[in-house]
């Protein structure tokens, strides 16, 4: 018996998501007609690409039931490192590879400290993130780097289009598709989820749980590098505060998506980050000062998670019970169930 | 008898598609020990969760001392005098046993600032321990305790409430061993003498005759019979037949033919682990079931885990198919063809919030992917469907999370996981904890079937189980192996060996 009910439930959640996105778009469209303009939509796509990559990395970490609070620090350090390499005249592809390698090393350090040596994840990643934030200053003492940026070709990542869609968006879609395949269609994905659900049972099942935890941090840092690369491409300079705005949207996207879809997954994160980016850009367009944006995102996150939590459902049911205490399900027939 | 302390009528409860309780009628007299019987998933735990306020009924009435009650939370039930030990007690792992027992009831005053008087608490704990005499160090963190100790803490927590009228025990003896069971029965007798009524859930039917005054039988979510034990004894009805709705014969499969014994699959020589066991040696053959009997603390559990690479032994040798191996983690043991069905299924065996499609293939992801990387979803589903049918998972829903199954059925998911792993050597630790008698017969049958191609080792603190299912038995006492003089243990010798050790024979 193929569980069509389950699929239905899944697709209703998915449809609900799409409806939510359309409603948000419509509301902004009415309040601020520029929201639906080509320029604005294009901007949303670009911001979504950067935010989405950070959220994807975080998705792996959240699946193994850990936290990574080093995203901003890693982003800052890697942004300046890549900026310095561009300024030094390295070809773009080697800059990207070097950035990814650096990210992998930093993620590996957090990951091994947490999985192998059992350090608490929150403290470790705050520390690693702060170190990254500090190291971001070693190249220029805090001044921005922009030499060679326009000749290096990095800005093409922001401007170039392929079949009408920005390359950054293609990058996002390609990497999400890959991650989706790995997490939901391979044994590696099952192992990731098992590690998060019950590390002890996973260990007893022969799954190298420590390795998967460490790997999650490595992937998270590498995705962060890709995200910050897109930010460099958009702004054309490397600054120490690049990436400071990556973390909150990433968390909001992952958790809001999980709340709506009923579990952490690549698809949930994709939807979550789409929603968050629309809200952020929409508010920005309506003139909300940037310093409020983290606050707004966090507020939306709280409301979203609350609205979709089991607790909320329980409360609703309790209310129903208060108002219609007699309206309960009487069993129909005394037969065998299911 | 006087008026009943507790009555329930027409109680219904539904979980999504599953009607867990249908129009349950129930009655509890003061000062009686009332057994609640029924196969896995019959609705026993659901019913007592409703009585104890942990779940809310969909409809029906519950009366206590003649008054209608509606419990919204466990506190309400406790205030009404109903103390409960749930099937899977929720304790705070980072707190000591003592703190758990008095959690939320440290002081008489209800103010948040009430000062906690440690000495008074310890005195109260001592008084409790005088009534339920389990040797247990209450200053230990609950997270560090064994399953037996945790169960004992939960029982102490329940009886620590003042003014209880009803005590509910959901399968306490599935984790307790024979020794603590005697203590528990003594406690129950004491409470009964004080007029406290007790609802007692168990799958060990002989316990019903040992302790209960009357019993109710649940089947398919309904309470189908209520009888006094006297009545049952004199009329000679079979409790197992009542529970299942059909006759059950001998639950143990026939023993293997000694001549049909195959090659030695696993050999263990002089295995030792500090604080675990010493110089244990045995062989396990294909074609037979080897039984290992030992109480809690005997080192049985440690031995099983040691062989499985969870806690590698300090000394000694393990040979698989004649070749010495060194297994330092479960992965290596699985690769060598060993599967452990762990004793603590909820922490070591299952991802509780996930369904069978997730849990069953976990120990053999290679097979799930057909030796490649991508999962073979369709094949996976048919394989798992077959295995869950084979272990008689009820209800047979592949997409229900493990936490949505009754205790015994959770164990069946772990068994299916073991079957899926296709090992050569199976080590079952406490394989039928919380499993009803019908399913037990099925599981023993499965073990027998498995033993045709694999070596099967059953590790249990239930002497009858070990003796009943195994072809050959060994006992472990305080980490030391006890062997029969004549080559085979009789049931009583096995029990003595496990309880008293070497000197007893
Ligand atoms: N939280 C839940 N969600 C969904 N279904 C549930 C839940 N709890 C119980 N059920 C279902 O309700 C039925 C009754 O379960 P219950 O736990 O009461 O059985 P039980 O008689 O205690 O069995 P056991 O002897 O195995 O403990 C089962 O079919 C079970 O699958
Ligand atoms: Mg139960």
Mean pLDDT of B312-321: 95
pLDDT for the residue A338: 31
Domain end call among B400, B422, B444: B422
Partner-chain residue, chosen from B308, B354, B361, that has the shortest CB–CB distance to A197: B354
- 3-class DSSP state of B387: helix
Partner-chain residue, chosen from B14, B17, B347, that has the shortest CB–CB distance to A200: B347
In chain B, which residue's Cα lies nearest the Cα of A200? B348
Are B306 and B407 in a shared domain? no
The tally of domains found in chain B comes to 3
Are B220 and B354 in a shared domain? no
Are B89 and B31 in a shared domain? yes
Specify if B1 maps to a domain.
Answer: no
- Strand order, beta sheet including B18-28: B18-28, B6-15, B59-64, B67-69
- Ligand 1 touching residue B43 (CB < 6 A): yes
- Is residue A66 within 8 A of residue A195, CB to CB? The reply is no
pLDDT band at A313 (very low <50, low <70, confident <90, very high): low
Q: How far is A8 from chain B (nearest CA, A)?
A: 13
Average pLDDT for chain B: 89
Q: For chain A, which domains are there? A: 13-324 (1.10.3470)
Q: How far is B18 from chain A (nearest CA, A)?
A: 6
CA atoms of B403 and B350, how far apart (whole Å): 9
Does residue A207 have a pLDDT over 70?
Answer: yes
CA atoms of B251 and B271, how far apart (whole Å): 33
Q: Backbone phi, then psi, for A175, in 5-degree steps?
A: -70, -35
Are B414 and B490 in a shared domain? no
Specify if B250 maps to a domain.
Answer: no
ipTM over 0.90: no
Specify if B304 maps to a domain.
Answer: yes
Are B96 and B142 in a shared domain? yes
Give the up-direction half-sphere exposure of residue A32: CA atoms within 13 A in the CB hemisphere.
17
- Is residue B214 within 8 A of residue B197, CB to CB? The reply is no
Q: How far is B2 from chain A (nearest CA, A)?
A: 31
Lowest-confidence pick of A215-224, B126-135, B339-348, B468-477: B126-135
For residue A43, CA distances in Å to A75, A247, A248, B8, B405 come to 21, 19, 19, 63, 49
- Is residue A115 within 8 A of residue A60, CB to CB? The reply is no
Judge: A198–B347 Cβ closer than 8 Å, yes or no.
Answer: yes
CB atoms within 10 A of CB A150: 10
Does residue B460 have a pLDDT over 90?
Answer: yes
- Ligand 1 touching residue B243 (CB < 6 A): no
Does residue B496 have a pLDDT over 50?
Answer: yes
Tens-digit pLDDT profile for residues B95-107: 988 888 888 766 5
Ligand 1: which of B46, B199, B388, B400 to mutate, judged by most atoms within 8 Å of the beta carbon? B46
Tens-digit pLDDT profile for residues B208-251: 999 999 999 999 999 999 999 999 999 988 888 888 887 777 88
Judge: A186–B374 Cβ closer than 8 Å, yes or no.
Answer: yes
Mean pLDDT of B417-437: 92
Does residue A335 have a pLDDT over 60?
Answer: no
Specify if B494 maps to a domain.
Answer: yes
Average pLDDT for chain A: 88
Residue B266 or residue B500, greater confidence: B266
Nearest partner of B465 among B442, B490, B431, B499, judged by Cα: B431
Specify if B68 maps to a domain.
Answer: yes
- Is residue B229 within 8 A of residue B209, CB to CB? The reply is yes
Specify if B443 maps to a domain.
Answer: no
CA atoms of B236 and A61, how far apart (whole Å): 60
pLDDT for the residue B122: 85
Judge: A201–B348 Cβ closer than 8 Å, yes or no.
Answer: yes
Judge: A329–B59 Cβ closer than 8 Å, yes or no.
Answer: yes
| Interface residue A244 vs chain B (CB under 8 A) | no
Ligand 1: which of B17, B216, B406, B437 to mutate, judged by most atoms within 8 Å of the beta carbon? B406
Chain B hits for A202, Cβ within 8 Å: 351, 362
The single-letter DSSP state of residue A286 is T
The single-letter DSSP state of residue B349 is I
Q: Which atom of ligand 1 is nearest to the CA of B44?
A: 21
Are B472 and B365 in a shared domain? no
Most A CBs within 10 Å, among B362, B375, B401, to test the A interface: B362
CA atoms of B180 and B169, how far apart (whole Å): 14
Quote the ligand 2 centre to B40 CA distance (angstroms): 7
Are B331 and B354 in a shared domain? no
CB atoms within 10 A of CB B412: 26
Nearest bound ligand to the CA of residue B21: 1
Tens-digit pLDDT profile for residues A225-253: 999 999 999 999 999 988 888 998 999 99
pLDDT band at A310 (very low <50, low <70, confident <90, very high): low
Nearest bound ligand to the CA of residue B38: 1
The per-residue DSSP string of B89-148 comes to ----TTSBHHHHHTTT-SSSS-STTPPP-HHHHHHHHHHHHHHS-----TTSBGGGS-HH
pLDDT for the residue B143: 85
Query: Rounded to two decimals, what is the model's pTM?
Result: 0.86
CATH value at residue B220: 3.40.50.300
Tokens describing residue A213: 């935890």
pLDDT for the residue A64: 96
Are B82 and B141 in a shared domain? yes
What is the 3-class SS of A163-195, one letter each residue? Answer: CCEEHHHHHHHHHHHHHHHHHHHEHHHHHHHHH
Are B191 and B330 in a shared domain? no
Lowest-confidence pick of A227-241, A242-256, A270-284, B110-124: B110-124
Beta bridge partners of residue B226, listed in sequence order: B216
Ligand 1: which of B405, B411, B438, B440 to mutate, judged by most atoms within 8 Å of the beta carbon? B405
In chain A, which residue's Cα lies nearest the Cα of B335? A206
CA atoms of B86 and B70, how far apart (whole Å): 19
Q: Which atom of ligand 1 is nearest to the CA of B400?
A: 4
Tens-digit pLDDT profile for residues A23-81: 999 999 999 999 999 999 999 999 999 999 999 999 999 999 999 999 999 999 999 99
Are B208 and B95 in a shared domain? yes
Are B230 and B297 in a shared domain? no
Specify if B270 maps to a domain.
Answer: no
Nearest bound ligand to the CA of residue B393: 1
- Ligand 1 touching residue B84 (CB < 6 A): no
Beta bridge partners of residue B61, listed in sequence order: B9
- Ligand 1 touching residue B405 (CB < 6 A): yes
CA atoms of B243 and B408, how far apart (whole Å): 15
Most B CBs within 10 Å, among A204, A207, A332, A333, to test the B interface: A204
Are B234 and B348 in a shared domain? no
In chain B, which residue's Cα lies nearest the Cα of A262? B353
Nearest partner of B411 among B396, B433, B381, B428, judged by Cα: B433
CA atoms of B44 and B20, how far apart (whole Å): 9
Domain limits for position B155:
6-244
Tens-digit pLDDT profile for residues A42-52: 999 999 999 99
Chain B hits for A200, Cβ within 8 Å: 347-348
Tens-digit pLDDT profile for residues A82-132: 999 999 999 999 999 999 999 999 999 999 999 999 999 999 999 999 999
Tokens describing residue B23: 């129009």
Q: Which residue is it, tokens 């100790």?
A: B149
pLDDT for the residue A315: 62
Does residue A336 have a pLDDT over 60?
Answer: no
Lowest-confidence pick of A9-13, B45-49, B297-301: A9-13
Chain A hits for B351, Cβ within 8 Å: 193-194, 197-198, 201-202
Q: How far is A338 from chain B (nearest CA, A)?
A: 7
Q: Backbone phi, then psi, for B409, in 5-degree steps?
A: -75, -25
Specify if B19 maps to a domain.
Answer: yes
A·B CB contacts under 8 A: 108
């Amino acid at each position: 018996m193929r569980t069509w009910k389950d699929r239905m439930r899944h697709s209703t959640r998915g449809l609900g998501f799409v409806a939510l996105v359309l409603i948000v778009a419509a509301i902004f469209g009415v309040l601020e007609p520029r929201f639906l303009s080509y320029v604005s939509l294009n901007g949303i796509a670009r911001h979504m690409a950067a935010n989405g990559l950070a959220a994807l990395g975080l998705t792996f970490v959240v699946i193994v039931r850990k936290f990574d609070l080093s995203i901003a620090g890693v982003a800052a350090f890697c942004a300046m490192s890549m900026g310095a390499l561009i300024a030094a005249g390295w070809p773009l592809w080697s800059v990207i590879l070097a950035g990814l390698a650096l990210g992998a090393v930093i993620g590996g350090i957090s990951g091994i400290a947490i999985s192998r040596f059992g350090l608490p994840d929150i403290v470790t990643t705050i520390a690693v993130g702060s170190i990254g934030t500090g190291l971001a200053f070693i190249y220029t003492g805090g001044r921005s780097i922009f030499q060679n940026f326009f000749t290096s070709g990095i800005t093409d990542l922001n401007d170039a289009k392929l079949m009408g869609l920005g390359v950054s968006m293609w990058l996002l879609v390609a990497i999400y598709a890959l991650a989706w395949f790995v997490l939901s269609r391979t044994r590696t994905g099952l192992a990731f989820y098992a590690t998060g659900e019950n590390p002890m049972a996973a260990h007893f099942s022969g799954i190298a749980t420590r390795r998967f935890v460490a790997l999650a941090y490595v992937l998270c840092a590498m995705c962060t590098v890709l995200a910050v690369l897109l930010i460099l491409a958009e702004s054309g300079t490397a600054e120490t505060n690049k990436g400071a705005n990556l973390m909150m949207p990433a968390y909001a996207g992952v958790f809001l998506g999980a709340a709506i879809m009923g579990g952490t997954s690549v698809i949930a994160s994709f939807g979550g980050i789409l929603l968050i980016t629309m809200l952020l850009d929409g508010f920005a367009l309506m003139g909300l000062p940037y310093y409020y944006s983290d606050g707004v995102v966090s507020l939306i996150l709280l409301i979203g998670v609350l609205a979709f939590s089991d607790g909320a459902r329980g409360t609703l049911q309790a209310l129903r019970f208060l108002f219609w205490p007699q309206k309960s399900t009487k069993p129909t027939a005394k037969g065998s169930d299911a | 008898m006087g008026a009943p302390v507790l009555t329930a009528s027409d109680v219904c409860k539904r979980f999504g598609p599953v009607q867990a309780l249908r129009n349950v009628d129930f009655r509890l007299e003061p000062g009686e020990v009332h057994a609640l019987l029924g196969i896995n998933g019959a609705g026993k735990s659901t019913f007592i969760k409703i009585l104890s306020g942990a779940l809310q009924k969909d409809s029906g009435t519950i009366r206590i001392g003649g008054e209608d009650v509606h419990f919204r939370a466990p506190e309400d039930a406790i205030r009404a005098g109903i103390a409960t030990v749930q099937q899977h007690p929720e304790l705070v792992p980072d707190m000591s046993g003592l703190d758990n027992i008095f959690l939320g009831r440290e002081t008489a005053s209800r103010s948040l600032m009430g000062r906690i008087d440690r000495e008074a608490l310890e005195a109260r704990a001592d008084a409790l321990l005088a009534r339920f005499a389990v040797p247990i160090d209450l200053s230990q963190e609950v997270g560090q305790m064994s399953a037996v100790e945790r169960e004992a803490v939960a029982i102490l927590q329940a009886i620590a409430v003042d003014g209880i009228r009803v005590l509910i025990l959901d399968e306490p003896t599935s984790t307790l061993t024979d020794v603590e069971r005697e203590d528990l029965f003594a406690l129950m007798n004491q409470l009964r003498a004080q007029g406290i009524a007790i609802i007692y859930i168990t799958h060990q039917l002989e316990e019903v005759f040992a302790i209960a005054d009357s019993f109710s039988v649940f089947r398919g979510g309904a309470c189908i019979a209520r009888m006094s034990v006297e009545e049952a004894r004199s009329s000679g009805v079979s409790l197992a037949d009542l529970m299942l709705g059909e006759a059950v014969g001998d639950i143990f499969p026939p023993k293997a033919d000694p001549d049909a014994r195959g090659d030695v699959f696993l050999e263990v020589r002089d295995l030792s682990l500090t604080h675990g066991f010493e110089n244990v040696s045995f062989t396990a053959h294909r074609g037979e079931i080897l039984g290992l009997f030992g109480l809690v603390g005997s080192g049985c559990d440690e031995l099983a885990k040691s062989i499985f690479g969870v806690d590698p032994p300090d000394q000694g040798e393990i040979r698989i198919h004649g070749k010495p191996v060194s297994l330092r983690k479960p992965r290596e043991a699985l690769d060598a063809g060993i599967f452990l069905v762990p004793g603590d299924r909820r922490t070591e065996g299952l991802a509780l919030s996930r369904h069978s499609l997730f849990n069953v293939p976990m120990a053999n992801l290679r097979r799930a992917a057909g030796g490649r990387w991508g999962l073979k979803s369709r094949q996976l589903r048919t394989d798992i469907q077959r295995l869950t049918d084979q272990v008689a998972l009820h209800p047979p829903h592949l997409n229900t999370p493990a936490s949505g199954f009754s205790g015994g059925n959770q164990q069946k998911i772990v068994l299916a996981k073991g079957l899926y792993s296709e090992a050569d050597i199976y080590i079952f630790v406490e394989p039928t904890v919380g499993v009803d008698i019908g399913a037990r017969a099925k599981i023993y049958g499965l073990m027998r079937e498995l033993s045709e191609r694999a070596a099967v080792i059953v590790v249990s603190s239930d002497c009858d189980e070990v003796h009943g299912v195994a072809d050959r038995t060994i006992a472990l006492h305080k980490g030391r192996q006890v062997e029969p003089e004549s080559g085979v243990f009789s049931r009583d010798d096995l029990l003595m060996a496990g309880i008293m050790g070497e000197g007893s024979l």
